[in-house]
Structure 1
Amino acid sequence: MNAMTDATPSPRQPRRGRPPKAQAQLSRTAIREAALSVIDAEGTDAVSMRSVSRVLGVDAKSLYHYVEDKDDLLDAVAEHVLEQLRLPEPTDSIDRDVRAWANEFRRITLAHPQAATLVLTRQLSSTVALAPVEGILTVLRRTGRSPEGAVHLMRTLLATLIGTLLREAAAGPTFGSEDPTQIAERQATLEGSGLPQIELAAPFLARFDRDREFDFTVDLIVRLATTPISPTTP
């Protein structure tokens, strides 16, 4: 999303009309930042025109001079977070480039973990949102894959990475923990489940090491990306 001035209307053409002078401090940027503060504090479900207007100290109706509706506002927040993405400069190594791309996605996701679902799953079509797609497709085309094959592989890599990042951003104690007390409690519960494979895996299911989980995922997608293509690969 391109930066927008106070006077610039939403690209979706929100309601027309000049805002009252009392609302002159409002802008699309200010509204977007207020929405992000709501998300950081309470999650995406807490975002509404009313909750954002309370942060700004204005009437909810005044927001419609700058954003069309809640969906437009959520798109603006998602694109703003994606604007923080710093795509790594390509190197002569596909391995390094895929790892750098994955780590940069992780960085922006964990900067606003409550917005992770919003950023990683929302369908966006702006230049800002498409830039990461262009970046990873450029890397994957260097593996010798066709445009179609690169898209299939990119979607597989994204699904794997997004799943890991969403889990990291939202994992609770019942999923696994880094806290020794919670690990012990969860392990005891799993070992008493009466399920043979769960009991054997209990020490590992009870523990959730975010860095190790992410590294495992990145190793997996690097192997997928760098596996030589077969004659039948698109």
Structure 2
Amino acid sequence: MNWTPDQPIVSLINVHKSFGAFEVLKGISMDIMKGEVVCIIGPSGSGKSTLIRCINALNDIQAGSISVEGQEVHDDNLDKLALRKKVGMVFQQYNLFPHKTALQNVMMAPLKVLKQNKVEVEERARALMKKVRLEGKENSYPGELSGGQQQRVAIARSLAMNPDVMLFDEVTAALDPETVKEVLVTIKDLASEGMTCILVTHEMGFAREVADHIYFTDKGVIVEHGPPATFFDNAQDARTREFLGKVL
């Protein structure tokens, strides 16, 4: 496992995933380089969320290979905690602890899982709250925050583990239109700082603006992929063009 930064930080080779008899991923391959921002788009039920859940071993796979920094993710001997420290994930639902303040939510994993020093963890958590533009909300409980603010706390919580890769699974899907922008701005900031980001998203304008590469999936396969300019303005596949015609 001698991974070097000139190799893909995340690599998927011919990945197959089924739930019972239903095959959700039918041979997905992609390479993501360090610092790259990749957006995965496609109709509902095309396997996008399953795909990124396989990257941090929340879902197992039936065939193929997924590696992060050269480490095979679906190796039986893999330390999943070590993997999830490297690969942060933010979900559509914020899953914050309602009885903990925003700051306590951000501090929990480094304290409980990584057993880090409380003073250092708090200092970093406060810096992360500032980073996601929530300075002054440290002592607010989730119920006192808007959906967009809760989602930014969830992003800060994921960043508290110091990941090398961030996965975002339709993180704006449950938000009102006014709060979507503040979450997207936060992700854009991370991307501009060089964080490797893999996003499943319906926000096409955002994908065009921040992505280095777009993948369009349908019925468990990658139909087409390319840099945003080529992908949006000169899609080659009829299925891609049909999808873009509906969403743009």
TM-score by length of 1: 0.25
Instruction: Say which one has the larger Rg.
Output: 1
The answer to which structure has the higher strand fraction is 2
Q: Which has the higher contact order (CA 8 A, sep 6+)?
A: 2
The answer to which structure has the higher helix fraction is 1
